[in-house]
Amino acid sequence: MMASIRFHGRGGQGAVTASKLLAEVAYMSGYYSQSMPFFGAERRGAPVIAFTRISDEPLFETSQVYHPNIVVVLDPVILRAVDIFSGVKEGGTVIINTTKKPEDFEFEQDYLNIITVDATGVAIENDLLLAGLPVVNTPMLGPLIRAFELLNMPLKLELLERVVTRKFGKAGMKNVSAIKQAYERAEMKTIRGKRKRKRRKKEKITVEFPISFPSEGVAGKTKMWRDFRPEIDYEKCNDCLSCWLHCPESAIRVNDRVEIDYEYCKGCLVCSAICPKRAVKTGREVFA
């Protein structure tokens, strides 16, 4: 019996670490295991994936996972950019960090088990923060244990706690309590897929020369990367253009007044930090 797991996250959220921790727990539970990151060209904030394989027989696969039994989504924002249900086996399990309910999701498969949990909330409650951002990779391992129960490949929660404590030292306890809470709060339902199946055509690529042409959005709409949202208070703004000059993303446009291009703004908040009039207010970005 082999289970394969795909993690979706954004650069810096620890999808790779989660995949490794899971492989370690599986090994300690008596399985063969493997954790494999996929490295793209992107930086922090961009969508990333990682894979774990767990089996009761030795693993020889070195290729990526295309048909996972379980998918773990660390960040609800990912759903806007990536098809997280792609290739998931019939009857597989998809675990999503979200405040939504399992029945809110649509997919092409006939049946999937959807587990939802507000891991971000759990992280904040447990003071599991890094540079002000909630750490969701470890809490998401809690509901993952549930998915393995469904597969009849039980992994022990105690072992997970041991691995996490060993990895994070003092901060381990916070992680352990977050994992437990997420495990308890996870809501699971078997859902029937409603979306129509689409045929995907592969595009033919021709590359005679390694030449590329200038274009906006080489990394897509980078608003996806935004955790914080700057907002210009035009009452205070005196059109000094400092924010325009310092914007790392060229995402501030100068028309009749300075305007933030929210399609591309990554929310680094440099504009807010340098504004001499303190006219750029900041708040948490809420997409989902």
Partner 1 sequence: MKISEMEREEYVLPGNTACHGCPSTICLRTVLKALKGRAILVIPACCTSVYMGPFPNSAIKVPVFNTAFASAAATASGIKASLEMQGDDTEVVVWAGDGGTYDIGLQALSGAAERGEDIIYICYNNEIYSNTGIQRSGATPFGAWTTTTWAGKTEHRKDVSEIMLAHGIPYVATASTGYLKDLYEKVKKAKEIKGFRYIEILAPCPPGWRFPMDKTVHMGKLAVESGMWILLESVNGRFRFTGVSRAIAEGKRKMRDLEEYLISQERFSHLSKKEIDEIRRYVQEKWSRLIKLEGEVDAAIAKFYV
Partner 2 sequence: MNVRILTGNESAAYSAMKSMVRVVAAYPITPATPVVETVAKLVESGEMQAKMIRVESEHSAMAACIGASTAGSRTFTATSSHGLAYMHEMLHWATNARTPVVMAVANRAIGPGWNIWADLSDALSQRDTGWIQLYCSGNQEIYDTIAMAYRLAEDRKVLLPAMVCYDGFVLSHTAMPVEITDFEGFLEEYNPKWRLDADNPFTHGNILPPEPFAELRHNIQKAHDRALKIMKKIEDEFYEFTKRETPLIIEEYRTEDADIVIVTMGAIASEAKIAVNSLREKKVKAGLLRIKSFRPFPEKDVKNYLEGKRVYVFDRAISPGSGGQLFREIRSALAFSDVKSVVPRVVGIGGIDVTKRTIEKAIFERKIWIKEVVA
> CA nearest 80: which of 133, 8, 6?
8
Binders of partner 2 among 168-207, rule CB under 8 A?
205-207
As measured in angstroms, the least distance from the Cβ of 216 to partner 2 is: 14
> CA nearest 192: which of 69, 91, 88?
91
266 interface partner picked from partner 1, partner 2, none, CB below 5 to 8 A per type? partner 1
Task: Name the token pair of 177.
Answer: 């309590």
Instruction: Calculate Rg over the CA atoms of the chain.
Output: 21
Query: How far apart, in whole angstroms, are the C-alpha atoms of residue 17 and residue 37?
Result: 9
Torsion angle, alpha carbons of 78, 246, 132, 134, to 10: 0
Burial (Cβ within 10 Å: 0-12, 13-18, ≥19) of residue 214: exposed
Burial (Cβ within 10 Å: 0-12, 13-18, ≥19) of residue 209: exposed
Q: Tell me which of 58, 60, 110, 213 binds partner 2, using CB under 8 A.
A: 213
31 within 8 A of 151, measured Cβ to Cβ? no
Task: Name the token pair of 98.
Answer: 């979200």
Which residues contact partner 1 by CB under 8 A?
41-46, 131-132, 207, 210, 212-222, 225, 240-242, 244-251, 254, 261, 263-264, 266-270, 272-274
Return the SS3 of 161. Answer: helix
The smaller minimum CB distance to partner 1, of residues 211 and 286, is found at 211
209 interface partner picked from partner 2, partner 1, none, CB below 5 to 8 A per type? partner 2
- In the DSSP assignment, the letter for residue 55 is E
Binding-site size, partner 2 (CB under 8 A): 11
The smaller minimum CB distance to partner 1, of residues 101 and 278, is found at 278
5 within 8 A of 64, measured Cβ to Cβ? no
As measured in angstroms, the least distance from the Cβ of 46 to partner 2 is: 13
The full length of the chain comes to 288
> How many beta carbons lie within 10 A of that of residue 63, not counting itself?
7
Binders of partner 2 among 27-56, rule CB under 8 A?
41
The smaller minimum CB distance to partner 1, of residues 1 and 241, is found at 241
208 interface partner picked from partner 1, partner 2, none, CB below 5 to 8 A per type? partner 2
Q: Tell me which of 169, 210, 217, 248 binds partner 2, using CB under 8 A.
A: 210
Query: How far apart, in whole angstroms, are the C-alpha atoms of residue 151 and residue 159?
Result: 18
The smaller minimum CB distance to partner 1, of residues 60 and 213, is found at 213
The smaller minimum CB distance to partner 2, of residues 39 and 60, is found at 39
Q: Is residue 131 close enough to count as binding partner 2 by CB under 8 A? A: no
As measured in angstroms, the least distance from the Cβ of 206 to partner 2 is: 7
The smaller minimum CB distance to partner 1, of residues 20 and 146, is found at 20
The smaller minimum CB distance to partner 2, of residues 60 and 213, is found at 213
Query: How far apart, in whole angstroms, are the C-alpha atoms of residue 54 and residue 61?
Result: 11
As measured in angstroms, the least distance from the Cβ of 216 to partner 1 is: 5
As measured in angstroms, the least distance from the Cβ of 246 to partner 1 is: 5
As measured in angstroms, the least distance from the Cβ of 71 to partner 2 is: 22
Q: Note the residues at the interface with partner 2 (CB under 8 A).
A: 41, 205-214
